[in-house]
Amino acid sequence: MAQCTQLSRNSQERNKTCSNVRSPVQQRRQGRIRAGRSLPRARSMAAKMQSMNEHVAALLDVTCADDADEENRSLYRTAIDAVKRASDMCHGVQRGLAEEDTKAKQDDSPVTIADYAAQAVIALTLMQNSKGGSENVRLVAEEDANELRDGGRLTEAVANLVRTAMDDGELTNAQVCDAIDVGLYEGGDQGGNFWVLDPIDGTRGFVGRRQYAVCLGYVDAKTGDVLLGVLGCPNLPFRGGDVMRLSDGQEGLDSVLAAEARSEQGVAGSVFFAAKGKGTYVGPLDGSAPFVAIGAKARQSEEDAPPAFMESYDARHSDHSFSGVVASTIFDGKSAPPPLRVDSQCKYGLLAMGGIADIYMRFPPSKYREKIWDHVAGICVVEEAGGVVSDAKGRKLRVNEGRFLPEDLGGGICAGSSQSWHGRLVDAIAVAAAATQK
Protein backbone atom coordinates (compact mmCIF):
# COMPACT_ATOMS: atom_id res chain seq x y z
CA MET A 1 0.00 0.00 0.00
CA ALA A 2 2.84 2.39 0.95
CA GLN A 3 4.46 1.52 -2.34
CA CYS A 4 1.36 2.61 -4.17
CA THR A 5 0.91 5.93 -2.39
CA GLN A 6 4.51 6.72 -3.20
CA LEU A 7 3.84 5.80 -6.80
CA SER A 8 1.06 8.30 -7.09
CA ARG A 9 3.22 11.11 -5.75
CA ASN A 10 6.27 10.42 -7.86
CA SER A 11 5.98 12.07 -11.23
CA GLN A 12 8.71 9.97 -12.82
CA GLU A 13 6.82 6.84 -11.94
CA ARG A 14 3.46 8.18 -13.06
CA ASN A 15 2.96 5.91 -15.96
CA LYS A 16 3.59 2.69 -14.13
CA THR A 17 0.46 0.62 -14.11
CA CYS A 18 -1.06 -0.99 -11.09
CA SER A 19 -0.03 -4.30 -12.54
CA ASN A 20 3.61 -3.26 -12.19
CA VAL A 21 3.30 -2.95 -8.43
CA ARG A 22 3.48 -6.32 -6.79
CA SER A 23 1.63 -6.73 -3.54
CA PRO A 24 1.72 -10.21 -1.99
CA VAL A 25 -1.91 -10.79 -2.97
CA GLN A 26 -1.19 -9.68 -6.47
CA GLN A 27 1.76 -12.00 -6.85
CA ARG A 28 -0.58 -14.87 -6.06
CA ARG A 29 -2.84 -13.75 -8.87
CA GLN A 30 -0.13 -12.93 -11.31
CA GLY A 31 -1.09 -15.72 -13.59
CA ARG A 32 -4.13 -13.83 -14.71
CA ILE A 33 -2.95 -10.23 -14.59
CA ARG A 34 -0.84 -9.05 -17.47
CA ALA A 35 0.08 -5.40 -17.76
CA GLY A 36 -0.36 -3.43 -20.94
CA ARG A 37 -1.19 -6.34 -23.21
CA SER A 38 -2.66 -5.30 -26.48
CA LEU A 39 -6.21 -6.44 -27.03
CA PRO A 40 -7.91 -7.17 -30.31
CA ARG A 41 -9.95 -4.22 -31.64
CA ALA A 42 -13.36 -5.76 -31.90
CA ARG A 43 -13.90 -7.08 -28.42
CA SER A 44 -17.10 -8.70 -27.29
CA MET A 45 -19.00 -7.27 -24.34
CA ALA A 46 -18.11 -10.35 -22.27
CA ALA A 47 -14.40 -9.95 -23.06
CA LYS A 48 -14.55 -6.27 -22.10
CA MET A 49 -16.27 -7.14 -18.83
CA GLN A 50 -13.65 -9.76 -18.08
CA SER A 51 -10.69 -7.48 -18.69
CA MET A 52 -12.33 -4.70 -16.66
CA ASN A 53 -12.77 -7.16 -13.82
CA GLU A 54 -9.10 -8.14 -14.05
CA HIS A 55 -7.95 -4.53 -13.99
CA VAL A 56 -10.21 -3.72 -11.06
CA ALA A 57 -8.85 -6.81 -9.25
CA ALA A 58 -5.29 -5.56 -9.87
CA LEU A 59 -6.22 -2.09 -8.56
CA LEU A 60 -7.77 -3.63 -5.45
CA ASP A 61 -4.69 -5.79 -4.87
CA VAL A 62 -2.61 -2.63 -4.80
CA THR A 63 -4.96 -0.50 -2.70
CA CYS A 64 -6.15 -3.26 -0.35
CA ALA A 65 -2.98 -5.30 0.11
CA ASP A 66 -3.52 -5.91 3.84
CA ASP A 67 -5.99 -8.41 5.20
CA ALA A 68 -7.43 -5.56 7.27
CA ASP A 69 -8.52 -4.01 4.00
CA GLU A 70 -11.12 -6.71 3.20
CA GLU A 71 -14.00 -4.36 3.96
CA ASN A 72 -12.48 -1.63 1.80
CA ARG A 73 -12.00 -4.11 -1.03
CA SER A 74 -15.74 -4.72 -1.17
CA LEU A 75 -16.53 -1.01 -0.80
CA TYR A 76 -14.15 0.00 -3.60
CA ARG A 77 -15.32 -2.73 -5.96
CA THR A 78 -18.94 -1.79 -5.43
CA ALA A 79 -18.25 1.90 -6.07
CA ILE A 80 -16.34 1.24 -9.30
CA ASP A 81 -18.94 -1.23 -10.52
CA ALA A 82 -21.78 1.21 -9.80
CA VAL A 83 -20.10 4.15 -11.54
CA LYS A 84 -19.07 2.08 -14.53
CA ARG A 85 -22.59 0.71 -15.07
CA ALA A 86 -24.12 4.16 -14.82
CA SER A 87 -21.44 5.74 -17.05
CA ASP A 88 -21.96 3.15 -19.79
CA MET A 89 -25.69 3.75 -19.67
CA CYS A 90 -25.25 7.56 -19.82
CA HIS A 91 -22.82 7.29 -22.73
CA GLY A 92 -25.42 5.39 -24.74
CA VAL A 93 -28.18 7.85 -23.88
CA GLN A 94 -26.12 10.95 -24.73
CA ARG A 95 -25.55 9.71 -28.28
CA GLY A 96 -29.27 9.57 -29.00
CA LEU A 97 -30.70 12.09 -26.54
CA ALA A 98 -34.04 13.47 -27.80
CA GLU A 99 -35.63 16.75 -26.77
CA GLU A 100 -38.41 15.01 -24.88
CA ASP A 101 -35.81 13.13 -22.76
CA THR A 102 -34.93 16.38 -20.97
CA LYS A 103 -36.97 18.50 -18.54
CA ALA A 104 -36.31 21.81 -16.79
CA LYS A 105 -36.16 21.71 -12.99
CA GLN A 106 -37.61 24.44 -10.81
CA ASP A 107 -34.27 26.28 -10.79
CA ASP A 108 -34.30 26.08 -14.61
CA SER A 109 -31.37 23.61 -14.71
CA PRO A 110 -32.02 20.56 -16.92
CA VAL A 111 -32.60 16.98 -15.82
CA THR A 112 -32.71 14.04 -18.23
CA ILE A 113 -33.85 10.43 -18.22
CA ALA A 114 -30.18 9.52 -17.76
CA ASP A 115 -29.85 11.55 -14.51
CA TYR A 116 -32.73 9.59 -12.96
CA ALA A 117 -31.65 6.25 -14.38
CA ALA A 118 -28.02 6.68 -13.28
CA GLN A 119 -29.16 7.44 -9.73
CA ALA A 120 -31.38 4.32 -9.67
CA VAL A 121 -28.62 2.11 -11.10
CA ILE A 122 -26.11 3.28 -8.50
CA ALA A 123 -28.57 3.05 -5.60
CA LEU A 124 -29.56 -0.48 -6.63
CA THR A 125 -25.91 -1.53 -6.99
CA LEU A 126 -25.09 -0.15 -3.53
CA MET A 127 -28.11 -1.92 -2.04
CA GLN A 128 -27.25 -5.25 -3.69
CA ASN A 129 -23.75 -5.11 -2.23
CA SER A 130 -24.53 -3.62 1.17
CA LYS A 131 -23.12 -5.71 4.03
CA GLY A 132 -25.53 -4.09 6.47
CA GLY A 133 -28.62 -4.84 4.33
CA SER A 134 -30.17 -2.74 1.59
CA GLU A 135 -32.26 -0.72 4.06
CA ASN A 136 -29.06 0.54 5.68
CA VAL A 137 -27.62 2.24 2.60
CA ARG A 138 -27.15 5.94 3.42
CA LEU A 139 -27.04 7.91 0.18
CA VAL A 140 -27.13 11.67 -0.35
CA ALA A 141 -27.94 12.14 -4.04
CA GLU A 142 -29.15 14.92 -6.29
CA GLU A 143 -32.40 13.59 -7.80
CA ASP A 144 -35.76 12.48 -6.38
CA ALA A 145 -38.61 10.54 -7.98
CA ASN A 146 -41.39 13.12 -7.45
CA GLU A 147 -41.78 13.76 -11.18
CA LEU A 148 -41.82 10.03 -11.97
CA ARG A 149 -44.34 8.61 -9.49
CA ASP A 150 -47.37 9.38 -11.65
CA GLY A 151 -46.07 7.25 -14.51
CA GLY A 152 -45.99 8.35 -18.12
CA ARG A 153 -43.45 8.44 -20.93
CA LEU A 154 -40.57 9.78 -18.82
CA THR A 155 -41.06 7.15 -16.11
CA GLU A 156 -41.22 4.34 -18.66
CA ALA A 157 -38.06 5.59 -20.41
CA VAL A 158 -36.15 5.81 -17.11
CA ALA A 159 -37.33 2.39 -15.92
CA ASN A 160 -36.38 0.77 -19.23
CA LEU A 161 -32.86 2.17 -18.99
CA VAL A 162 -32.53 0.85 -15.44
CA ARG A 163 -33.89 -2.61 -16.35
CA THR A 164 -31.33 -2.87 -19.17
CA ALA A 165 -28.38 -1.56 -17.15
CA MET A 166 -29.18 -3.84 -14.21
CA ASP A 167 -29.99 -6.75 -16.52
CA ASP A 168 -33.22 -7.24 -14.58
CA GLY A 169 -36.41 -7.21 -16.62
CA GLU A 170 -38.49 -7.82 -13.50
CA LEU A 171 -37.81 -4.43 -11.93
CA THR A 172 -41.06 -2.49 -11.66
CA ASN A 173 -41.42 1.26 -12.24
CA ALA A 174 -42.24 1.66 -8.54
CA GLN A 175 -39.04 -0.15 -7.52
CA VAL A 176 -37.05 2.15 -9.79
CA CYS A 177 -38.68 5.21 -8.15
CA ASP A 178 -37.98 3.78 -4.69
CA ALA A 179 -34.33 3.24 -5.64
CA ILE A 180 -34.04 6.87 -6.77
CA ASP A 181 -35.51 8.03 -3.45
CA VAL A 182 -32.89 6.12 -1.47
CA GLY A 183 -30.84 9.22 -2.29
CA LEU A 184 -32.94 11.47 -0.06
CA TYR A 185 -30.68 10.87 2.97
CA GLU A 186 -29.84 14.13 4.71
CA GLY A 187 -26.17 13.43 5.45
CA GLY A 188 -24.57 15.26 8.39
CA ASP A 189 -22.42 14.00 11.26
CA GLN A 190 -25.09 12.31 13.39
CA GLY A 191 -25.45 8.96 11.59
CA GLY A 192 -22.89 6.57 10.11
CA ASN A 193 -20.65 7.09 7.10
CA PHE A 194 -22.58 7.84 3.91
CA TRP A 195 -22.41 7.79 0.13
CA VAL A 196 -22.68 10.98 -1.90
CA LEU A 197 -23.78 10.87 -5.53
CA ASP A 198 -24.19 13.24 -8.42
CA PRO A 199 -25.62 10.86 -11.04
CA ILE A 200 -24.78 13.30 -13.85
CA ASP A 201 -22.68 16.24 -12.81
CA GLY A 202 -22.79 18.88 -15.52
CA THR A 203 -26.18 18.03 -16.98
CA ARG A 204 -25.90 21.11 -19.20
CA GLY A 205 -22.70 19.61 -20.64
CA PHE A 206 -24.45 16.25 -21.06
CA VAL A 207 -27.30 17.83 -22.99
CA GLY A 208 -24.85 19.99 -25.00
CA ARG A 209 -22.82 16.86 -25.98
CA ARG A 210 -19.84 18.07 -23.96
CA GLN A 211 -18.24 16.82 -20.75
CA TYR A 212 -20.12 15.40 -17.76
CA ALA A 213 -19.25 13.05 -14.92
CA VAL A 214 -20.89 10.34 -12.83
CA CYS A 215 -19.59 11.15 -9.33
CA LEU A 216 -19.73 8.85 -6.30
CA GLY A 217 -17.98 9.47 -2.99
CA TYR A 218 -18.01 8.02 0.52
CA VAL A 219 -17.77 10.32 3.54
CA ASP A 220 -16.63 9.76 7.10
CA ALA A 221 -19.63 11.25 8.88
CA LYS A 222 -17.72 12.20 12.03
CA THR A 223 -14.69 13.92 10.48
CA GLY A 224 -16.11 15.00 7.13
CA ASP A 225 -13.10 13.43 5.39
CA VAL A 226 -13.82 11.91 1.99
CA LEU A 227 -12.75 8.26 2.15
CA LEU A 228 -13.40 7.34 -1.46
CA GLY A 229 -14.07 9.09 -4.76
CA VAL A 230 -14.93 7.64 -8.18
CA LEU A 231 -15.49 9.80 -11.26
CA GLY A 232 -16.86 8.26 -14.44
CA CYS A 233 -16.00 10.59 -17.34
CA PRO A 234 -17.30 8.97 -20.55
CA ASN A 235 -16.23 11.88 -22.78
CA LEU A 236 -12.76 12.33 -21.35
CA PRO A 237 -10.56 10.09 -23.50
CA PHE A 238 -8.22 7.76 -21.63
CA ARG A 239 -4.72 8.22 -22.96
CA GLY A 240 -2.75 5.82 -20.85
CA GLY A 241 -3.05 8.18 -17.91
CA ASP A 242 -1.12 10.85 -19.75
CA VAL A 243 -2.38 14.41 -19.99
CA MET A 244 -4.22 15.90 -22.93
CA ARG A 245 -2.05 18.01 -25.19
CA LEU A 246 -2.93 21.66 -25.49
CA SER A 247 -2.24 21.41 -29.18
CA ASP A 248 -5.66 19.78 -29.24
CA GLY A 249 -6.92 23.35 -29.28
CA GLN A 250 -7.01 25.55 -26.22
CA GLU A 251 -10.38 27.15 -26.80
CA GLY A 252 -12.26 24.18 -28.04
CA LEU A 253 -10.45 21.51 -26.05
CA ASP A 254 -13.61 20.43 -24.31
CA SER A 255 -15.56 19.78 -27.48
CA VAL A 256 -12.54 18.25 -29.20
CA LEU A 257 -12.25 15.75 -26.36
CA ALA A 258 -15.96 15.02 -26.38
CA ALA A 259 -15.98 14.56 -30.14
CA GLU A 260 -13.05 12.18 -29.92
CA ALA A 261 -14.74 10.11 -27.23
CA ARG A 262 -17.93 10.01 -29.30
CA SER A 263 -16.11 9.10 -32.47
CA GLU A 264 -16.77 5.93 -34.40
CA GLN A 265 -13.35 4.60 -33.42
CA GLY A 266 -14.82 4.26 -29.95
CA VAL A 267 -12.09 5.94 -27.90
CA ALA A 268 -12.70 4.91 -24.30
CA GLY A 269 -13.65 7.43 -21.64
CA SER A 270 -11.92 7.60 -18.27
CA VAL A 271 -12.69 6.46 -14.75
CA PHE A 272 -10.83 8.04 -11.83
CA PHE A 273 -10.52 6.20 -8.53
CA ALA A 274 -9.13 7.57 -5.28
CA ALA A 275 -9.22 6.31 -1.70
CA LYS A 276 -7.92 8.00 1.42
CA GLY A 277 -4.28 7.10 1.98
CA LYS A 278 -4.17 4.94 -1.16
CA GLY A 279 -3.55 7.40 -4.02
CA THR A 280 -5.41 8.34 -7.19
CA TYR A 281 -5.69 6.17 -10.30
CA VAL A 282 -7.21 6.47 -13.75
CA GLY A 283 -8.26 3.76 -16.18
CA PRO A 284 -10.32 3.40 -19.36
CA LEU A 285 -14.06 2.91 -18.83
CA ASP A 286 -14.12 0.01 -21.28
CA GLY A 287 -11.50 -2.02 -19.40
CA SER A 288 -9.10 -2.07 -22.36
CA ALA A 289 -6.04 -1.21 -20.22
CA PRO A 290 -4.97 -1.34 -16.56
CA PHE A 291 -5.43 1.50 -14.09
CA VAL A 292 -2.50 3.90 -13.81
CA ALA A 293 -1.39 5.70 -10.63
CA ILE A 294 -1.44 9.48 -11.13
CA GLY A 295 -0.08 12.39 -9.15
CA ALA A 296 -0.19 15.97 -10.24
CA LYS A 297 2.99 17.11 -11.95
CA ALA A 298 2.99 20.43 -10.16
CA ARG A 299 5.09 23.30 -11.44
CA GLN A 300 6.32 25.13 -8.36
CA SER A 301 8.28 27.82 -10.15
CA GLU A 302 6.64 31.14 -10.87
CA GLU A 303 8.66 31.24 -14.05
CA ASP A 304 6.88 28.16 -15.20
CA ALA A 305 3.21 29.13 -15.55
CA PRO A 306 0.70 26.33 -16.09
CA PRO A 307 -0.69 26.20 -19.62
CA ALA A 308 -4.21 26.97 -18.40
CA PHE A 309 -6.42 27.55 -15.36
CA MET A 310 -9.72 25.74 -15.09
CA GLU A 311 -13.22 27.00 -14.52
CA SER A 312 -16.85 26.18 -15.37
CA TYR A 313 -17.80 26.04 -19.02
CA ASP A 314 -21.01 27.85 -18.19
CA ALA A 315 -20.70 31.50 -17.09
CA ARG A 316 -23.94 31.12 -15.08
CA HIS A 317 -22.10 28.72 -12.75
CA SER A 318 -18.99 30.79 -12.10
CA ASP A 319 -17.84 34.40 -12.54
CA HIS A 320 -15.41 34.16 -15.44
CA SER A 321 -14.29 37.76 -15.23
CA PHE A 322 -13.28 37.48 -11.56
CA SER A 323 -11.25 34.32 -12.17
CA GLY A 324 -9.49 36.21 -14.97
CA VAL A 325 -8.53 38.89 -12.42
CA VAL A 326 -7.28 36.21 -9.98
CA ALA A 327 -5.21 34.53 -12.71
CA SER A 328 -3.60 37.88 -13.60
CA THR A 329 -2.90 38.49 -9.91
CA ILE A 330 -1.06 35.17 -9.51
CA PHE A 331 1.14 35.87 -12.50
CA ASP A 332 1.62 39.52 -11.67
CA GLY A 333 3.47 41.26 -14.49
CA LYS A 334 3.68 38.13 -16.59
CA SER A 335 1.11 36.84 -19.01
CA ALA A 336 -1.59 34.88 -17.21
CA PRO A 337 -2.54 31.46 -18.53
CA PRO A 338 -5.80 31.30 -20.47
CA PRO A 339 -8.92 29.63 -19.04
CA LEU A 340 -9.76 26.05 -19.85
CA ARG A 341 -13.54 25.80 -19.52
CA VAL A 342 -14.83 22.32 -18.85
CA ASP A 343 -18.18 21.13 -17.48
CA SER A 344 -18.47 19.04 -14.32
CA GLN A 345 -16.05 17.34 -11.92
CA CYS A 346 -14.00 16.25 -14.93
CA LYS A 347 -12.06 19.37 -13.88
CA TYR A 348 -11.01 17.65 -10.66
CA GLY A 349 -9.82 14.62 -12.64
CA LEU A 350 -7.81 16.80 -15.01
CA LEU A 351 -6.28 18.68 -12.08
CA ALA A 352 -5.24 15.39 -10.48
CA MET A 353 -3.61 14.27 -13.72
CA GLY A 354 -1.48 17.38 -13.86
CA GLY A 355 0.27 18.93 -16.80
CA ILE A 356 -2.70 20.84 -18.17
CA ALA A 357 -3.80 23.14 -15.36
CA ASP A 358 -2.66 23.53 -11.76
CA ILE A 359 -5.50 25.68 -10.51
CA TYR A 360 -9.30 25.54 -10.58
CA MET A 361 -11.60 28.36 -9.51
CA ARG A 362 -15.36 28.46 -9.00
CA PHE A 363 -17.20 31.65 -8.03
CA PRO A 364 -20.97 31.00 -8.24
CA PRO A 365 -23.60 33.76 -7.95
CA SER A 366 -23.92 34.91 -4.32
CA LYS A 367 -27.42 33.41 -3.94
CA TYR A 368 -26.36 29.97 -5.20
CA ARG A 369 -25.92 27.34 -2.48
CA GLU A 370 -23.30 24.69 -3.32
CA LYS A 371 -24.34 21.04 -2.93
CA ILE A 372 -22.01 18.42 -1.45
CA TRP A 373 -22.48 16.02 -4.42
CA ASP A 374 -20.85 18.55 -6.75
CA HIS A 375 -17.51 18.21 -4.94
CA VAL A 376 -17.21 15.14 -2.69
CA ALA A 377 -15.79 12.62 -5.19
CA GLY A 378 -13.53 15.27 -6.76
CA ILE A 379 -12.06 16.24 -3.37
CA CYS A 380 -10.69 12.72 -2.86
CA VAL A 381 -9.41 12.47 -6.45
CA VAL A 382 -7.46 15.75 -6.12
CA GLU A 383 -6.22 15.29 -2.56
CA GLU A 384 -4.92 11.76 -3.08
CA ALA A 385 -3.00 13.06 -6.09
CA GLY A 386 -1.26 15.61 -3.83
CA GLY A 387 -3.57 18.59 -4.41
CA VAL A 388 -5.85 20.63 -2.16
CA VAL A 389 -9.54 21.64 -2.50
CA SER A 390 -11.00 24.33 -0.22
CA ASP A 391 -13.32 27.28 -0.07
CA ALA A 392 -12.08 30.59 -1.45
CA LYS A 393 -10.47 31.44 1.90
CA GLY A 394 -8.52 28.18 2.08
CA ARG A 395 -10.83 26.43 4.58
CA LYS A 396 -11.64 22.72 4.30
CA LEU A 397 -15.02 22.09 2.63
CA ARG A 398 -17.35 20.80 5.35
CA VAL A 399 -19.27 17.99 3.66
CA ASN A 400 -20.80 16.49 6.82
CA GLU A 401 -23.26 19.25 7.69
CA GLY A 402 -26.13 18.18 5.44
CA ARG A 403 -26.89 18.14 1.72
CA PHE A 404 -25.48 21.64 1.20
CA LEU A 405 -22.04 23.09 1.83
CA PRO A 406 -22.00 25.90 4.41
CA GLU A 407 -23.39 29.19 3.15
CA ASP A 408 -20.15 31.08 3.80
CA LEU A 409 -17.53 29.83 1.36
CA GLY A 410 -15.69 33.14 1.24
CA GLY A 411 -17.00 33.64 -2.30
CA GLY A 412 -16.45 30.24 -3.86
CA ILE A 413 -14.34 27.12 -4.15
CA CYS A 414 -10.79 26.69 -5.34
CA ALA A 415 -8.32 23.88 -5.89
CA GLY A 416 -4.61 23.54 -6.58
CA SER A 417 -2.67 20.58 -7.90
CA SER A 418 -0.24 20.97 -4.97
CA GLN A 419 -0.17 22.73 -1.59
CA SER A 420 2.01 25.40 -3.11
CA TRP A 421 -0.33 26.17 -6.03
CA HIS A 422 -3.31 26.11 -3.70
CA GLY A 423 -1.61 28.56 -1.31
CA ARG A 424 -0.78 30.94 -4.13
CA LEU A 425 -4.33 30.72 -5.41
CA VAL A 426 -5.92 31.52 -2.03
CA ASP A 427 -3.57 34.51 -1.60
CA ALA A 428 -4.38 35.78 -5.09
CA ILE A 429 -8.14 35.47 -4.50
CA ALA A 430 -7.81 37.65 -1.37
CA VAL A 431 -5.81 40.28 -3.28
CA ALA A 432 -8.20 40.24 -6.26
CA ALA A 433 -11.26 40.43 -3.97
CA ALA A 434 -9.84 43.48 -2.20
CA ALA A 435 -8.94 45.12 -5.50
CA THR A 436 -12.37 44.55 -7.02
CA GLN A 437 -14.31 44.92 -3.73
CA LYS A 438 -15.97 41.58 -4.43
Ligand X SMILES: Nc1ncnc2c1ncn2[C@@H]1O[C@H](COP(=O)(O)O)[C@@H](O)[C@H]1OP(=O)(O)O
Closer to ligand X at the Cβ: 270 or 344?
A: 344
Q: Which of residues 84-103 bind ligand X (CB under 6 A)?
A: none
Is position 201 an interface residue for Mg ion (rule: CB under 5 A)? yes
Residues of each annotated binding site for Mg(2+):
142, 198, 200-201, 374
What kind and span of H or E run contains 62?
helix 45-63
Closer to ligand X at the Cβ: 191 or 252?
A: 252
DSSP for 390-432, please give it: EETTSPPP--SSSSB--S--TTSEEEESSHHHHHHHHHHHHHH
How many residues make contact with Mg ion (CB under 5 A)?
3
CA nearest 330: which of 195, 244, 421? 421
Kindly name the residue from 88, 115, 358, 391 that is annotated as catalytic. 115
Query: With CB cut-offs between 5 and 8 Å by kind, which of Mg ion, ligand X, none does residue 418 bind?
Result: none
Closer to ligand X at the Cβ: 215 or 267?
A: 215
CB of 380 to Mg ion, least distance (A): 16
Closer to ligand X at the Cβ: 333 or 365?
A: 365
CB of 367 to ligand X, least distance (A): 9
Which stretch, 60-68, 74-82, 129-137, 368-376, contacts Mg ion (CB under 5 A)? 368-376
Query: With CB cut-offs between 5 and 8 Å by kind, which of Mg ion, ligand X, none does residue 314 bind?
Result: ligand X
CB of 254 to ligand X, least distance (A): 10
Residue nearest to Mg ion (CB): 201
Provide the pairing of β-strand 194-201 with 139-141.
Answer: parallel
Residue 203 annotated in active site: yes
CA nearest 64: which of 20, 6, 35, 23? 23
Helices 153-166 and 70-95: crossing angle, nearest 10°?
A: 130
CB of 159 to ligand X, least distance (A): 21
Total length of the chain: 438
3 state DSSP class of 172: coil
CB of 16 to ligand X, least distance (A): 31
In the list 69, 115, 198, 370, the residue contacting Mg ion (rule: CB under 5 A) is: 198
Helices 70-95 and 45-63: crossing angle, nearest 10°?
A: 140
Q: Which of residues 115-174 bind ligand X (CB under 6 A)?
A: 142
23 phi and psi angles, rounded to 5 deg: -85, 165
308/360 Cα distance (integer angstroms): 9
Contact 389, 383 (CB under 8 A): yes
3 state DSSP class of 279: strand
Contact 340, 357 (CB under 8 A): yes
3 state DSSP class of 263: coil
x/- string (CB under 6 A) for ligand X, residues 181-210? Answer: -----------------x--xxxx------
Is position 374 an interface residue for Mg ion (rule: CB under 5 A)? yes
Q: Which of residues 343-362 bind Mg ion (CB under 5 A)?
A: none
193 phi and psi angles, rounded to 5 deg: -60, 150
Is position 384 an interface residue for Mg ion (rule: CB under 5 A)? no
CB of 107 to ligand X, least distance (A): 6
How many residues make contact with ligand X (CB under 6 A)?
19
Residue 108 annotated in active site: no
x/- string (CB under 6 A) for ligand X, residues 305-324? Answer: -------xxx-xxx------
CB of 376 to ligand X, least distance (A): 12
Closer to ligand X at the Cβ: 69 or 374?
A: 374
DSSP for 123-142, please give it: HHHHHHT-TT-GGG--EEES
DSSP for 318-373, please give it: S-HHHHHHHHHHHTTTSPPPPEEE--STHHHHHHHH-SS-SEEEE---TT---BGG
Closer to ligand X at the Cβ: 199 or 306?
A: 199
DSSP annotation of 19: G
In the list 15, 109, 146, 223, the residue contacting ligand X (rule: CB under 6 A) is: 109
Positions touching ligand X (CB under 6 A) are 109, 142, 198, 201-204, 312-314, 316-318, 343-344, 364-365, 368, 374
Q: Which residues are catalytic?
A: 115, 203
Interacting residues with Mg ion (CB under 5 A) = 198, 201, 374
